Structure 1
Amino acid sequence: MAGSAQRQYRTITTRVPARLDRLPWSRWHWMIVIGLGTVWILDGLEVTVVGAIAGRLSEEGSGLPVTDAQVTGLAAALYVAGACAGALFFGRLTDLFGRKKLFLITLAVYLGATAMTALSFSSWWFFLFRFLTGFGIGGEYAAINSAVDELIPSKYRGRVDLVINGSFWLGAVAGSLLSVVVLDTSLFALDVGWRLAFALGVVLGFAVLLVRRHVPESPRWMLIHGRAEEAERLVDDVEEQVAAEHGGRPLPEPGRAMTVRQRRSTGFGEIAGTLVRTYPKRAVLGFSLFVGQAFLYNAITFGFGTILVRFFDVPSGSTGYYFAVIALGNFLGPLLLARSFDTVGRRPMIAGTYVISGLLLFATAWLFGTGRLSAVTLTACWCVVLFFASAGASSAYLTVSEIFPMETRAMAIAFFYAVGTAAGGIAGPLVFADLTSSGVPGETALAFCVGAALMTAAGLVAAFFAVPAEGRSLEDIATPLSVTAPSPADAPTPAAPASRER
């Protein structure tokens, strides 16, 4: 393969995006989902294990001189800070060097940092590698979401993206149940069990890496970066596989062609101008959705184990059961509601899930603050709130990965993830840790109310600014910068003009 310096950048006309979008569902698409989507399971495992073992790490004899507030506050904030930094760093590289290279590198970073976390011997070591684990996971968000959206047909893109992002909670279920086992001191020593939980993440990560090696580069990215012939050959091969799987029946005719002026890279200035000047309403939408969901999840679920122990006297070794229940509710939300994002539509579903979860969270805060909840009923309330919130949060990633041009996609995901998560996910856990450690129900309820207010506000923004992207090609939603006839800002983007077929 020729290096980028030796490639010839020219103007081409192609139907590759239209050919990908018209494909029926196949085993090839399942390979994409399994190879790329399973990383969210690892992220869910990571976050939940730390939340579940917070009480154990602060106990005498755990091997680490930390408090539960440091684990749910400082360590959580460092993990999120690492994720924000990793998203921005790897997001830029993903747009420059391709999706495939980066989703292999980011997974390797995650694996190494998680292994080092399991070997922690001091608090500074633990905090350092929590940051680096987040650094790898943040890069995954940018590389994976951009690749998934560019490889999955437009008819299925919404539901697939939501279920993939919602699979975070399958990892949370696994992490919760795993914590019950590894925290059982009749099975593992006090300073051994929590290390095994992180070690399992490494084992699962290697399994994902084996599958991911077979996931191809995005043909859409190759088209723009001087590799049109490779993109055409890849899509030819995929079409042959899919046609054979469907009994050799002819595939539907692809849509219109587009003409692309190839380029080596897109500068920061052009990216920033596209996000802020060309699509200002979409930028406000992306920021609002990420702030709302990030504060709710990073500020509240990181401290759920501490709430159970401090307010309801649940043993630290049993909090995993409660985590498993709310995690299952979280996964059922995207699983059961995902299809509606492609049929009912993006705008009503995004706005509805955000507003409903926000209002339900206000109700939960009131019940908790007035002492009307037990550990069981609080968990039940969370299941209902997070059923809707999880679908909404997953739709935030879907939204920012499909409403901006191809050349800015990974960086847009990284930017909104980093800015929104930093606002809610770094400040949130630090504030929330102080509120829960006070032992005053009213102060903890206040944190719930802040999260509820931000979720509700984000839903109202979506009601006005969400883009009706259901069933539309990525190029129709936002014309690539390399296409010769871009569309007006924040207006429905027409398909590229028809031209000769290559």
Structure 2
Amino acid sequence: MATITDRLGKLPLGSFHYRLLALMGSGIAFEALDTGLIAFVLAKMIGAWNLSPVQIGYISSAGLVGMAVGAIVSGTLADRVGRKKIFVATLGIYALGTGLCGLAWNYESLLAFRFLVGAGVGGQPPVANALMSEYAPVKHRGKMLVLQNSSWAIGWLLAALIAYLIIPKYGWQLAFYIGALPALMVVYVWRILPESAMYLVSRGRHMDAHVLVSKIEQELGVPVGEQPHAEEVQSASTQKFNFIDLWSPLYIRRTICLWVLWFGMVYSYYGIFTWLPSLLVKSGHTLIRSFEFLLYMTLAQIPGYFAAAYFVDKIGRKATMGSLLVVCALSAYMFGSAKSAEDIVLWGCVMSFCNLGAWGITHAYSAEQYPTHARAAGVGWAAACGRIGGIIAPIAVGALMTGSDQYGTVFTMFTVVLAIIAMDIIFLGKETMNKSLDELTERQLVPTRSPAATKSSALDDTKG
């Protein structure tokens, strides 16, 4: 009898998957909208509030501290109480915090509200990636996860348009109020978002999972699978996954690879794009002109995502992501050396194209590394490690801004970081293309365990 994982993995792409893609993608878009808004708002607030580079760095980092906390808490809770509840909760927290940012009356209040926003948006990716990976057909899983995360470009584009059209004329407060509009979606998302069928199985709710998957099969016009046998339901038991299990022999290589990857990706992305408007202004360009450069770079993200989505299920996760990161490192160096407006746009667009394409694959690849009962938590811890990189990066850039060759020094640093994570995925990563989640995280481990690994796994099973 086919398992729930097998039934879901063999489904054809259809209306259910595209509906889920839109819902999960909205969460990623809101995170990007917030990241973009704070980058553009800070460029405006430098003069309005007389903020120092160090203060700007702390405002950016406050949100990232919240993201780290949100990623760990939401990932852990999503594995225990369900994906649906936590995704809706994080959406509401994000909307509330963003609206409060518009009401901030001083530097300290903005720091507090940025932490709240971070907790909301940081909690969404681990849950969204887990849910999409558990429903996407095997042959299309990489593509669907990359496309889901391509909505980041939509969020950034909206942020750039708001910055270009709203902030100069109506002030930065209105930008935050617009960013709070997702609050209107909370009830709608709760009504139509399904719980993960694989999560239900991991909690011993086999019949509930069968009913849910049967409805999806009927919607997509495929034969309905058999319901679970009575003995399967009666023997069902729930499993637990603790932080220490991330470092067991079965998962330690995956954990190290993901933590280095996430740290470097978030460090480079937030370090570059949070400071980029301010860096361009300090390099002699007007605020409006710097927003224009960012708009071009944001548009370049969209084909970057689609290129990654195409190749990730054709040549694999490692080859696609490794290539993108190598080119991104080279373009970051060239961007730091650019003098003319044309060179800034050219190398900025190449850098943005490659960075965001690699970002999409990072999310897809991460969701394939851990079993169902630990998927959101495992991704959440990796994302939290990434947020630490994001916390450090804006502060590091602020410190480097005091030197004589500020621009070149900053982007040389990012070149080195991007090169390191390219080597990380090339040498530590394992290919996951065209393999079911059970094969990647559970079945493949049984015949290849060493005595030590078997003992560790037995202990893990006892915990479950």
TM-score of the two chains, using structure 2 as the length reference: 0.90
Question: Partner residue of 2:244?
Answer: 272
Write the distance in 1 (CA, Å) between the matches of 2:302 and 2:385. Answer: 25
Q: How far, CA to CA, are the matches of 2:330 and 2:262 in structure 1?
A: 18
Q: Please show how residues 134-153 of structure 1 align to structure 2 within 5 Å.
A: 134-153=118-137
Matched, 1:488 2:462: no
Q: Show the counterpart of 1:263.
A: 237
How far, CA to CA, are the matches of 2:100 and 2:64 in structure 1? 18
Structure 1 portions without partners, runs of 5+: 1-12, 244-249, 492-502
* Alpha-carbon distance, 1:359 to partner: 2.2
Question: Does the 8 Å contact 1:34/1:211 carry over to 2?
Answer: no
Deviations along 1:427-466, one digit per CA (max 9) or x if unpaired, are 1101102323x373x2332221222112112112222222
Find the counterpart in structure 2 of residue 450 from structure 1. Answer: 413
Give yes or no for contact 1:83–1:131 (8 Å, CA) kept in 2: yes
Match among 146, 150, 162 for residue 146 of structure 2: 162
Q: Which residue of 2 aligns with 1:335?
A: 306
**In 2, are the aligned partners of 1:106 and 1:139 still within 8 Å (CA)?**
yes
Matching of residue 400 in structure 1 with residue 382 in structure 2: no
Match of 1:6 in 2: none
1:228 aligns with 2:206: yes
Please tell me whether the aligned partners of residues 107 and 205 of structure 1 are also in contact (alpha carbons under 8 angstroms).
yes
Higher helix share: 2
Matches within 5 A, 1:15-414: 15-60=3-48, 65-67=49-51, 69=53, 72-185=56-169, 188=170, 193-207=171-185, 210-211=188-189, 213-243=191-221, 250=222, 262-268=236-242, 271-314=243-286, 316-365=287-336, 367-368=337-338, 373-414=339-380
Residue 461 (structure 1) aligns with: 424
> Quick check: 2:198–2:209 contact (8 Å CA) kept in 1?
yes
Q: Kindly indicate whether the alpha-carbon contact (under 8 Å) linking 1:96 and 1:265 is maintained by their aligned counterparts in 2.
A: no
Does the 8 A contact of 2:27 with 2:125 survive in 1? no
Instruction: Find the residue that maps to 2:249 and give its secondary structure.
Output: helix
Mapped to 2, the partners of 1:103 and 1:124 lie a distance apart of 28
Separation in 2 of the partners of 1:203 and 1:127?
A: 21
Distance 1:477 1:209 in 2: 35
C-alpha contact 1:50 1:71 (8 A) present in aligned 2? no
CA distance in 1, matches of 2:124, 2:50: 29
Could you tell me whether the CA contact under 8 Å between 2:217 and 2:224 is conserved in 1? no
Shift in Å at residue 337 of structure 1? 2.5
2:414 maps to 1:430: no
Q: CA deviation at 1:209?
A: 5.4
CA contact (8 A) 1:361 1:385 kept: yes
Q: 1:322 and 1:28, CA in 2 relative to 1: closer, same or farther beyond 3 A? A: same
Q: Which amino acid aligns with 1:215?
A: L
Q: Which residue in 2 is equivalent to 1:496?
A: none
Gaps of 5+ in 2: 454-464
Alpha-carbon contact 2:167-2:175 (below 8 Å) kept:
no
Q: Residue in 1 aligned with 2:385?
A: 419
Question: TM-score, structure 1 length as denominator?
Answer: 0.83
The alpha-carbon deviation at position 171 of structure 1 amounts to 0.8
Which amino acid letter does the alignment assign opposite residue 266 of structure 1? K
CA spacing shift, 1:418–1:123, aligned 2, 3 Å: same
Q: Is the 8 A contact 2:54 2:399 kept in 1?
A: no
Tell me by how many angstroms 1:150 deviates.
Answer: 0.6
Distance 2:209 2:2 in 1: 10
Mapped to 1, the partners of 2:431 and 2:296 lie a distance apart of: 33
Q: Deviations over 1:243-302 (max 9, x none)?
A: 0xxxxxx55999xx9x7964345142xx42244421222122112211221111111111
Contact conserved, 1:180 with 1:319, CA < 8 A, in 2? no
Aligned to 1:7: none
Please state whether the residue corresponding to 1:59 is helix, strand or coil: helix
Amino acid at match of 1:117: C
Q: Partner amino acid for 1:421?
A: R
CA drift of 1:331 comes to 2.3
Tell whether the 8 Å contact from 1:322 to 1:379 is kept in structure 2 after alignment: yes
